[in-house]
Amino acid sequence: RDEQISTIKAAIEEKNIRFIVLQLTDIMGASKSIILPVSQIEKILSNETMFDGSSIDGFARIEESDMYLYPDLSTFLVLPWKACNGYSIARIICDVYSPNEEPFEGCPRQVLRKALEEAKGMGYEFYVGPEPEFYIFDRDEKGNAILENNDKAGYFDMAPLDKGEEVREHISLALEEAGFEVEAAHHECGPGQHEIDFKYADALSTADNIMTFKYIVRKIADDLGLFASFMPKPVEGIAGSGMHLNMSLFKDGKNIFFDPDAKNSLSDEAVHFIGGLLKHSKAITAVTNPIVNSYKRLVPGYEAPVYIAWSHKNRSPLVRVPAKRGTSTRVELRSPDPACNPYLALAVVLKAGLDGIKNKIEPPKSIAGNIYDMDLEERLEKSIDSLPISLYEAIEELAKSDTVKGALGKHVTEKFISAKLDEWDSYRKAVHSWEIEEYLKAH
């Protein structure tokens, strides 16, 4: 820690840092921050920065409103842009603590830490690589985001058809400057839709990285006069934005999902991890796909999963095992979208997978064919069930699942369910343009 502190202090001098952004994520997955001038660095480093937890949606009650930010010094980052007058800004991600110096149970980072501790107790390190997708839209004269862009390209297209290429370059450079190892950046299926993949890491770093990634993508798009959105389905009729999660467990530095002697070179742990994921998939969905709009993406016809099944090659099921073996052996969960709170999402998928390993849950047989081509009868015959079709259904599943509720803990479960039921209620009461179109003249 002393070493980290001296590195930070040296960077403050060298890089001309004038502001420190203390960043945290609320239960709903929104990024929150407090910006302090660098003169407050001693207070920051001695965990004395206070904030009012009750002012953050769904975070804490009035009675426990005094919260403390404990900066995780390993997340210190000089942001890849400048403040006013050319000064630099640094960012540190924080854990939230209560006044009695206990980690706050409503802090999403704490929820993930707990799940990781359980994995560690079993000898496992959990590694995750996400594939976040997003749209880049234009702004109107007033600067408001509009659902348009001058991009007519599709999957893997190249410039000049791909107008987003330049934007992606700017974003990739900023990400690299911020220490990301960008593995690939490509145009996605939708016009204006992109995917940038960065290297997998331990789950806590990956959840932090996802929050940093969204921050950087939004900021760079904004600087270019554009607007980046991670909304799961911004435009009807074209591909939604997902965030596949690639997962593996390591033991003593080795990927234990890989077993050269086993069937398909997949270890029992990998197979049982899949069994756990599939078993709990309905309840997990509430967390990995947490907004009303998430369910507009989980429909047939767009490569987003709908059915609860797994496959070695096909991209239609919920879980895919990519062909790569050795260190890259991984399980890909294809349902999550970038609206999720990554800390909570990684905690629940890990706990589901660990449950599979502990209880040796065998997944159903893997599916080779395209499930979208099967009719209902064939799916029933193969016992292929579907993911929840609405936020409400997903919340009902969550409320029934001790595994997922246990992963979130009592505090987060209560706050999450009540906020999501409010969200559903507000949606339920709204009269949508689809209804006007269908019914106004017909009735």
Half-sphere exposure of 68 (CA within 13 A, CB side): 15
x/- mask, Mg ion, residues 342-381, rule CB under 5 A, reads ----------------------------------------
Which lies closer to ligand ADP via its Cβ, residue 68 or residue 180?
A: 180
| 330 is annotated as an active-site residue | no
Q: In sequence order, which ranges of 193-307 are alpha helices (DSSP H)?
A: 203-223, 268-279, 281-288, 294-297
Centre a 10 Å sphere on the Cβ of residue 197 and count the other Cβ atoms it contains. 18
* Minimum distance of ligand ADP from residue 322's CB (angstroms): 6
Instruction: Give, in degrees to the nearest 5, the angle at Cα 342 between 170 and 337.
Output: 75
Which lies closer to Mg ion via its Cβ, residue 12 or residue 331?
A: 331
Which lies closer to ligand ADP via its Cβ, residue 235 or residue 319?
A: 319
Which of 234, 235, 174, 168 is CA-nearest to residue 195?
Answer: 168
CA diameter of the chain: 72
Does 157 sit near Mg ion (CB under 5 A)? no
Interface residue with ligand ADP, options 25, 246, 281, 316 (CB under 6 A): 246
Residue 323, φ and ψ in degrees, nearest 5: -65, -25
Interface residue with ligand ADP, options 95, 165, 208, 332 (CB under 6 A): 332
Interface residue with ligand ADP, options 128, 286, 308, 367 (CB under 6 A): 128
- What are residue 386's DSSP bridge partners? 307
Interface residue with ligand ADP, options 133, 157, 162, 197 (CB under 6 A): 197
* Minimum distance of ligand ADP from residue 90's CB (angstroms): 26
x/- mask, Mg ion, residues 191-220, rule CB under 5 A, reads ----x-------------------------
* Minimum distance of ligand ADP from residue 55's CB (angstroms): 35
Catalytic site residue from 188, 259, 355, 397: 188
Beta 319-320 vs 254-255: how paired, if at all?
unpaired
| 63 is annotated as an active-site residue | no
Instruction: Give, in degrees to the nearest 5, the angle at Cα 159 between 219 and 296.
Output: 60
Interface residue with Mg ion, options 91, 163, 244, 405 (CB under 5 A): 244
- What's the token pair of residue 290? 């947490």
Q: In sequence order, which ranges of 60-190 are alpha helices (DSSP H)?
A: 108-121, 165-177
Does 200 sit near ligand ADP (CB under 6 A)? yes
Assign 271 to helix, strand or coil. helix
Which lies closer to Mg ion via its Cβ, residue 198 or residue 227?
A: 198
Centre a 10 Å sphere on the Cβ of residue 130 and count the other Cβ atoms it contains. 24
**Contact yes or no for 26/56 (Cβ under 8 A):** yes
Catalytic site residue from 332, 337, 355, 397: 332
Stretch that binds ligand ADP, among 128-136, 145-153, 260-268, 290-298 (CB under 6 A): 128-136
Which lies closer to ligand ADP via its Cβ, residue 49 or residue 267?
A: 267
* Minimum distance of ligand ADP from residue 437's CB (angstroms): 36
| 411 is annotated as an active-site residue | no
Which of 22, 160, 173 is CA-nearest to residue 90?
Answer: 22
**Contact yes or no for 119/249 (Cβ under 8 A):** yes
Catalytic site residue from 18, 244, 330, 411: 244
Which lies closer to Mg ion via its Cβ, residue 201 or residue 419?
A: 201
- What's the token pair of residue 170? 């700017």
Q: What sign results for the dihedral spanned by CA atoms 84, 93, 104, 420?
A: positive
The site partner of 319 among Mg ion, ligand ADP, none (C-beta below 5 to 8 Å per kind) is: none
Does 322 sit near ligand ADP (CB under 6 A)? yes
CA atoms of 178 and 211, how far apart (whole Å): 13
| 377 is annotated as an active-site residue | no
> What is the signed CA dihedral for 15, 21, 24, 29, rounded to 10 degrees?
-100
Positions marked catalytic? 52, 131, 133, 188, 195, 244, 315, 332, 334
Binding site for ligand ADP (CB under 6 A): 127-129, 131, 183-184, 197, 199-200, 244, 246-248, 255, 322, 327-328, 330, 332
